[in-house]
């Protein structure tokens, strides 16, 4: 089944080895929640990485949540009466269009975590002075209109802006990776590549712990 994010160019998640290792380094399994699961692309990956864990899924889009629960045969329904060891918040901040809701979502995942519980947060940043940011600021490719057309406006935070919001939401940041398309190339080559359109595909992944 397609949803609006797939229509907007959203593709099946790609979980290369370095990302899988990063997740396995910081998340120890247990009760895991995929918050903003959508149609379950990432929920499926989480189940693959943590086959012995209990996986639950939540989304404000009830239809998406039900579809994920059914298609992945999720037996542990999301409940606000229990606390989780780990929460994934993958590409959810990307589809929220105001600071207040981002802060509310972060407060919500904080309150759903056990003491010392951890979260993985994936986000596609608008780094200051990157091509992506310049096009957005100049609106030369009608970035905002493109997002509006596909019915999801979004925030345009840089990595640093989101870092500060997460830190002020009751989390300690444990680690960060900023994989690039050519993530194995050196720093200098990556600097050069940043000026190319490939930099459109930037990503930041935070591993955080409830304070
Ligand atoms: C781009 S999709 C990502 C889906 C999934 N996490 C993935 O990466 O495959 C964003 C999802 O976040 C959900 N969402 C947006 N705002 C939310 C909120 N305040 N609380 C829970 N889910 C939310 C949307 O309904 C949508 O399914």
> What does the domain layout of the chain look like in residue ranges?
4-125+155-190+202-210
pLDDT digits (tens, 9 = 90+) for 10-39: 445 677 788 899 999 999 999 999 999 999
pLDDT in tens, 165-208: 999 999 999 999 987 655 555 566 656 665 554 455 578 999 99
| 86 strand-pairing partners | 32, 118
Give, as one character, the DSSP assignment of residue 74: -
Name the class of domain 4-125+155-190+202-210.
Answer: alpha beta
Q: Which of 30, 39, 192 is nearest to 113 (CA)?
A: 30
At residue 75, the pLDDT reads 86
How remote is the CA of residue 36 from the centroid of ligand 1, in Å? 4
User: How far is ligand 1, taken at its centre, from the CA of residue 5, in Å?
Assistant: 9
Distance 178 CA to ligand 1 centre (A): 21
Q: Which residues contact 34 (CB under 8 A, 6 or more apart)?
A: 40, 42, 43, 46, 55, 56, 57, 58, 68, 87, 88, 90
CA distances (Å), origin 182, targets 104, 160, 193: 34, 22, 8
Give the Cα-Cα-Cα angle 37, 18, 40 (nearest 5 degrees): 15
Q: Is the CB of 95 under 6 A from ligand 1?
A: yes
Name the residue of 6, 12, 59 to mutate for ligand 1: max ligand atoms within 8 A of Cβ.
Answer: 59
CA of residue 69 to ligand 1 center, whole Å:
15
User: How do strand 171-177 and strand 204-210 relate by DSSP bridges?
Assistant: antiparallel
Q: Ligand 1: does its nearest atom lie under 6 Å from the Cβ of 106? A: no
Q: Is the CB of 133 under 6 A from ligand 1?
A: no
Residue-wise pLDDT for 116-165, tens only, equals 999 999 998 988 877 777 777 787 666 667 667 665 678 999 999 999 99
Structure tokens, 82:
């229990």
For the stretch 30-85, pLDDT in tens is 999 999 999 999 999 999 999 999 999 999 999 999 999 999 999 899 999 999 99
């Amino acid at each position: 089944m397609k949803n609006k994010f797939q229509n907007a160019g959203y593709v099946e998640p790609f979980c290369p080895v370095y990302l899988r290792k990063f997740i396995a380094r910081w998340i120890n399994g247990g009760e895991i929640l995929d918050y903003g699961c959508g149609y379950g692309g990432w929920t499926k990956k989480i189940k693959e990485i943590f086959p012995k864990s209990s996986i639950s899924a939540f989304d404000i889009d009830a239809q998406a949540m039900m579809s994920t629960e059914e298609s992945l045969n999720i037996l542990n329904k999301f409940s606000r009466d229990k606390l989780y060891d780990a929460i994934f918040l993958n590409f959810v901040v990307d589809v929220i269009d105001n600071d207040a809701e981002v802060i509310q979502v972060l407060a919500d995942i904080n309150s759903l975590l056990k003491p010392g519980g951890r979260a993985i947060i994936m986000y596609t940043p608008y780094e200051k002075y990157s091509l992506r940011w310049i096009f957005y600021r100049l609106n030369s490719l009608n970035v905002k209109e493109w997002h509006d057309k596909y019915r999801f406006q979004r925030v345009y935070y840089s990595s640093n802006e989101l870092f500060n919001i997460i830190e002020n939401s009751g989390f300690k940041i444990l680690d960060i990776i900023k994989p690039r398309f050519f993530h194995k190339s050196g720093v200098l080559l990556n600097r050069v590549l940043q000026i190319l359109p490939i930099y459109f595909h930037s990503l930041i992944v935070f591993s955080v712990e409830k304070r």
